[in-house]
Chains A and B, each alone.
Chain A
Amino acid sequence: AQKITQTQPGMFVQEKEAVTLDCTYDTSDQSYGLFWYKQPSSGEMIFLIYQGSYDEQNATEGRYSLNFQKARKSANLVISASQLGDSAMYFCAMREAIQGAQKLVFGQGTRLTINP
C-alpha cells in the first residue's frame, strides 16, 4: 500500500520568506503522481501543483514549485515570497491506480502560519 508522510505538523514563517513543506512517499509502483493541495480555514481543497513520476523537470506553478527527488522518494513543496494568504493546511497526496482510475492517498497535513 502506498503511504504519504508529512513530518511537520505546523510551521511558522515570516511574510516574504520562502518556505519548504516536506513530503515523503512510499510506493512500489513505477508510474505514480504526486499532488499538493491547500486547505484554507474556509475548508475547501484547492489544487496547487502536480508532479508525474516520469517528469524530468520539477513542476512549477507561479510561486509554487515541487522539489522532486525520486531516489529519496521526496516531493517537497516550496513557496517563494510567502504571503499572509498562504496561511492554511497543506496536504501532499499520491495517486494510487485502481482499475485504471486514480484514487488519492493523503498525508496528515502541515499547518502553515505566515506572520506579518
Chain B
Amino acid sequence: EAGVAQSPRYKIIEKRQSVAFWCNPISGHATLYWYQQILGQGPKLLIQFQNNGVVDDSQLPKDRFSAERLKGVDSTLKIQPAKLEDSAVYLCASSTQGLELFFGEGSRLTVL
C-alpha cells in the first residue's frame, strides 16, 4: 500500500517569497492533516480536513498560510509571504476512522 506522498522534499526560499507544498494521502483516508514541526519541537497542527471540509484551522496563521483540499483527496499548503520563523518541516498525515496517523516524509522549508 502506498504511503502519504509529499513534495517537494526540500525548499529554500528568501523571506517574503511564496511556497506551496503538496500532499497525496493514503487512498481512502478521509482525514488529512498538515502539521508544522520546528526543529526541537513536536508537530503542531495547522489544519485538519475531513474529506474536503475544514475541521480545525485554529492554529493556522491565516494572514499568510492557506490550505485547500478541493476534491477531498490531495491537498496543498501555501505560505505567502514567508517569514524566517516559517523555517520548519511541514508534515502531512492522513487517517481513517481510527486515530492512527500516517505521516509523509515531510517537506523541509528553509527561509533565508
Tell whether A pairs with B: no
